[in-house]
Structure 1
């Protein structure tokens, strides 16, 4: 392929823009906020599981306490009923029976109230645990929100730069021979770089020094020949800095 030396040199300008575009795309994919958001998301998931477990403990204790309160209330009602019967009087046998049952009910009430007190103390501890987990969860959600805000701000800046560079590329590519741009774009798509300056006898893309027959090939090629590196196949742009 033939192309004027100046057109080949301007390929370097096009490559510089494309390199910046690739760097911006890579930067967008590798923002530190993305890793931070992923890490916090995993933390939030684990904390949510922990919160659910802590909530289950509190709910179970609430249910057990409610059951005990119901039992205590039933004992109290039975005591009130027996006390009324005792106050109403009766035979000695009936009185002794009621007194015995009241003593039994008092012991039962005391046992239930002690059990309820123990459960209430457990619930207090469980609620403190739940509150602590909820606090950590809330803090993690806040960190994620902040990281998402910073990610969005960074993406906004990158989007502006991408738009600016993309617009700048259009006239550069339009001003070059179409067949040269087609070849350049194909190589760039395949390898990530389409053209590089030959500098001090080295390919600017793969950094391999030209020597022997390859060096002679490049040296002897007419200035309007589009020369490609034998190693990396990129277009090698020759200038006064090429050392040929």
Structure 2
């Protein structure tokens, strides 16, 4: 059976209060509005980055398409230039010159078709470049917003960490001279019971689980030796007996 001076047991409530405040600050650190914004911004940035990758891929495809279209147009233009030079030179038979003229007509139509294709590809390329520029701008805005949220988070962390450091120092002072076995039991129970290892007994009520205890159990606690460490029969936490309120006259 664990025993510890009653005064140590009562001082344990001060340690518990400090640990509870520290746990509340740790919870606040996990629930900062800046963290929520950062998570939202990360999702938005991931979506934009996915779109940017798709847009760059499409741009590369269109650039290759434009290179082919340019090459096709250039080939026809070169052929037109050669035929026109032959026609302008007047060399060859009338039949040859007539054939060249017919070919130039056909090449003219082909060149017009290919130039329309080239123009369409250029317009699509410009549209995709504009879309990518807009995505890049959107990403830059999100990155800037993330930097602001991170700065806010870090500033809030600094304040909360300073509070935690003060609580930890106070906790060390309060726990320094307490019974070693009592502290070990308390820390064990605190780890098992959601951070609350000790609670006051007020009347028949355990302040840990907030339940009214069996009267006979409470009576046995009241009769126990002052240095006996007792546990709540409902939640298993250390029950700290406080001085009985003075009877009214």
So what's the TM-score if we normalise by structure 2?
0.87
Relative to structure 1, the CA distance from residue 243 to residue 2 in structure 2 (aligned partners, 3 Å threshold; closer, same or farther) is farther
CA distance in 2, matches of 1:49, 1:177: 59
Which residues of structure 2 form unaligned runs of 5+? none
> Who is 1:107 aligned against?
109
Q: Deviations over 1:109-166 (max 9, x none)?
A: 1111111112222222222222222222222222322222222222222222222211
Q: State the Cα RMSD in Å.
A: 2.3
Paired position in structure 2 for 1:193: 196
Q: Which runs of 5+ in 1 are unaligned?
A: none
Distance 1:111 1:242, change over 3 A: farther
Mapped contact 2:213–2:233 kept (Cα < 8 A): no
Aligned to 1:162: 164
Give the Å deviation of 1:243: 9.3
Alignment of 1:51-66 (within 5 A): 51-66=52-67
CA pair 19-121 structure 1, distance change in 2 beyond 3 A: same
Q: Quickly say closer, same or farther: Cα 1:38–1:223, change in 2 above 3 A.
A: same
Please give the alpha-carbon distance, in whole angstroms, between the structure 1 residues aligned to 2:206 and 2:32. 32
Instruction: Give the CA deviation at 1:15.
Output: 0.7
Q: Is the 8 A contact 2:55 2:132 kept in 1?
A: yes
For 1:234, the equivalent position in structure 2 comes to 237
CA shift in 2, pair 1:13/1:97, >3 Å: same
Partner residue of 1:116 out of 115, 118, 121: 118
Deviations 1:15-42 (A, max 9, x none): 1111112222233333343343333223
* Count of aligned pairs between the two proteins: 244
Write out the 4+ residue segments of structure 1 that deviate beyond 4 Å after TM superposition: 241-244
CA distance in 1, matches of 2:218, 2:239: 12
